[in-house]
Structure 1
């Protein structure tokens, strides 16, 4: 009788663990949806629920860090991303987000180093190339930024190339050229694909309203904006 009771207890424990994981996943999904809608307080509550159910999921501190990043609470964000990596040292999103925090704090050199390190594991990442372009531009090295874009795949699987070119144009103050890139990209990529890159430009104040007029000749390849048939999803 005793072995049977032991087995029953074990089954109950396993079932409880599965239920906890399920509850954590549901709460995490709700938190993610709330985050996307800008309802950060609700997202935080759902993350608390997810953590109570399963505190070992790196997605939980990673999303909490993303909330803090949006709220410009960068030190707290970095702490959360580091916590995610403590749970899973290979958790790529947290590594990417730590570099993002450096970028948003104006530590462009350190951010570039972290993005470059990530390129070792993901050499074909267009997003990382785009971020490296931003780092170079914000450090004042437009030649380096242009060099990175020249090596980017075109057309790419993401809108990264167009937004990188737009960023260079905006930094020069060539708002007209930047607008051409921003209009053309929508011909080939869905709005949901563009949203991340557009937001990235806004977060570092690379918008037409904040730039001065052109002071130098545009990059020779900047005319390659993409006509009909030159890019596709």
Structure 2
């Protein structure tokens, strides 16, 4: 009887996984959801599941890099992002994330060079806005006032993304105007959902300007 009970329990425990497989749940989609919720180990497990059912892909390398970045391992994250870029040289996200990892590591000039290289090869407005914001943050991180001013002036109103509002906030914080910076962030929050602002908010958190750490942004 105990042996039969054990078999039944094991079978019952396997049912959710079977149901997910039958429902066609993409492990990489599951990994993205877990990452956004801050469940890093669960996200890694989902990536492992995806790679066991096939070879590593641009998306799996890129997601793995984002997890490593959240774990405070920018150099290891860079290796994953570069593997993603090698798998698909024209993919935007791995190239953006290479710049992000360099920014997180405070390698301002290298991050800027990466963003500039990518901006030369994209004509998608939202991508361009992200990259211009990244360039601004590299100048602010380096305390390069002239370069920051030039980068700031290039982010014109209106923008399709939260770039303009976050650029205004970053400029305000960098110049000691916290209340003004907070006002710009409230405006952005009224106009865009958290998934769209998270990428822009992360460097502000890393620079110590905002307390709340935004959820990871896998897209």
Same fold per superposition (TM over 0.5): yes
Give a deviation string over 1:118-174, Cα, whole Å, max 9, x none. Answer: 111125411111111100111111232222222223111011111111111111111
Are residues 1:164 and 2:133 paired?
A: no
Partner of 1:94: 94
**1:43-54 correspondence to structure 2 within 5 Å:** 43-54=43-54
Partner of 1:215: none
Greater mean deviation of Cα atoms: 141-150 or 153-162: 141-150
Selected match of 1:203 from 196, 202, 206: 206
Are residues 1:155 and 2:158 paired?
A: yes
Counterpart-to-counterpart distance in 2, 1:53 and 1:194:
33
Give a deviation string over 1:68-99, Cα, whole Å, max 9, x none. Answer: 00111111111111221222222221111111
Counterpart-to-counterpart distance in 1, 2:23 and 2:56:
13
Q: What is the CA distance between 1:184 and its match in structure 2?
A: 2.0
Q: What is the CA distance between 1:196 and its match in structure 2?
A: 2.2
Partner of 2:73: 73
Partner of 1:176: 179
Counterpart-to-counterpart distance in 2, 1:76 and 1:170:
30
The Cα RMSD (Å) is 2.2
Structure 1 pair 152/112, CA: closer, same or farther in 2 (3 Å)?
A: same
Greater mean deviation of Cα atoms: 46-55 or 142-151: 142-151
Query: Contact conserved, 1:28 with 1:47, CA < 8 A, in 2?
Result: yes
**1:119-158 correspondence to structure 2 within 5 Å:** 119-123=119-123, 124=125, 125-158=128-161
Q: Secondary structure at the match of 1:183?
A: helix
Partner of 2:111: 111
Unmatched tracts of structure 2, length 5 or more: 1-21, 213-219
Unmatched tracts of structure 1, length 5 or more: 1-21, 210-233
Q: Name the TM-score, length of structure 1 as normaliser.
A: 0.74
Partner of 1:191: 194
Aligned residues, how many?
A: 188
* Greater RCO, 1 or 2 (C-alpha within 8 Å, sep 6+): 2
Partner of 2:41: 41
Query: Which structure is larger by alpha-carbon Rg, 1 or 2?
Result: 1
Query: Contact conserved, 1:56 with 1:87, CA < 8 A, in 2?
Result: no
